[in-house]
Amino acid sequence: MPAIKAILFDLDDTLWPIAPVIARAEEHMYDWLRTHVPAVAARFTVEALRARRMEMLNSNPQFRFDMMGLRQAGLAEAFRACEADCDRVEHALEVFRKARNTVDMYEDVRPVLPRLANHWTLGTISNGPADLEQIGISHHFQASVAAWRFGSGKPDPKIFLAACELLAVAPQEAVYVGDDPLLDVEGAQQAGLKGVWLDRVGRHGTSHAPGHLVPDAVCTNLFELEHWLHTICGTPAPRPIE
């Protein structure tokens, strides 16, 4: 078996829970609209804006890997409908972005990431628009590939291979870790990487898990991932699983 040289991570729902982040970011942006563009807030609720974005996504597949582009298009449409100043759309998006990048990481992330970085090269691949510099953890990662910049996303093998190329490792020398068994695990395996299912909510072994999928490992937190990595690499783990 080739030596493991790189560990690549998904972001949303792998390093932090994303649903509360998005809900909070949308509320912050809506509060800004109430103050600065009241005509839009009076005509469109948060739910109405969200529903329209889903309609736009269904009719424009190119937005699938550009959620901020989708959000911008939806807001611009709402502003035009209210004859509001469309130059202020970017101000609203900036409020959203700031809140979108204010995350509460899972408690295992901050202690484990630096230890993993001491042994392996780390990177990220995400279909979302998280900004690791704003979040404050970019220093752990040598490369980050975002679908909205790359032009396609997981499970397309090309995005996994691009990340490996940036890290100067062969796919067989890399492990990808994520919460989605199909996008993350199966996508990584089809590109030649090892796929680890970070199953924080206990779906593995239930009817909610894809029956055909065989992850290289299933972990419930990064402590377990760390233990598994040291086991398959034959190196001593720095601490027991918590």
Provide the CATH number for the domain around residue 170: 3.40.50.1000
Is residue 36 located within the same domain as residue 76? yes
Residues of the chain falling short of pLDDT 70 = 1, 205-209, 238-242
- pLDDT (tens digit per residue) in 121-151: 999 999 999 999 999 999 999 999 999 999 9
Final residue in a domain of this structure, among 100, 115, 141: 100
Is residue 117 located within the same domain as residue 55? no
What's the pLDDT at 68?
Answer: 95
CA dihedral (105, 110, 111, 116) in degrees, to 10, reads 110
Is residue 121 located within the same domain as residue 206? yes
What is the spatial order of strands in the sheet that 121-126 belongs to? 143-146, 121-126, 6-9, 174-178, 194-198, 217-219
Global pTM reads: 0.92
What's the pLDDT at 2?
Answer: 74
- pLDDT (tens digit per residue) in 35-49: 999 999 999 999 999
Is residue 13 located within the same domain as residue 70? no
Is residue 161 located within the same domain as residue 71? no
Structural domains in the chain (count): 2
What's the pLDDT at 203?
Answer: 80
Residue 169 belongs to a domain: yes
What's the pLDDT at 1?
Answer: 64
Is residue 144 located within the same domain as residue 77? no
Residue 12 belongs to a domain: yes
What's the pLDDT at 207?
Answer: 58
Rounded CA gap, 27 and 92, in Å? 11
Is residue 38 located within the same domain as residue 10? no
What's the pLDDT at 45?
Answer: 96
Domain span including residue 113: 6-17+106-233
Is residue 129 located within the same domain as residue 226? yes
Residue 240 belongs to a domain: no
What's the pLDDT at 61?
Answer: 84
Is residue 73 located within the same domain as residue 122? no
What's the pLDDT at 242?
Answer: 46
Is residue 150 located within the same domain as residue 215? yes
Is residue 48 located within the same domain as residue 133? no
Find the CATH number of the domain harbouring 23.
Answer: 1.20.120.1600
What's the pLDDT at 4?
Answer: 96
Is residue 185 located within the same domain as residue 208? yes
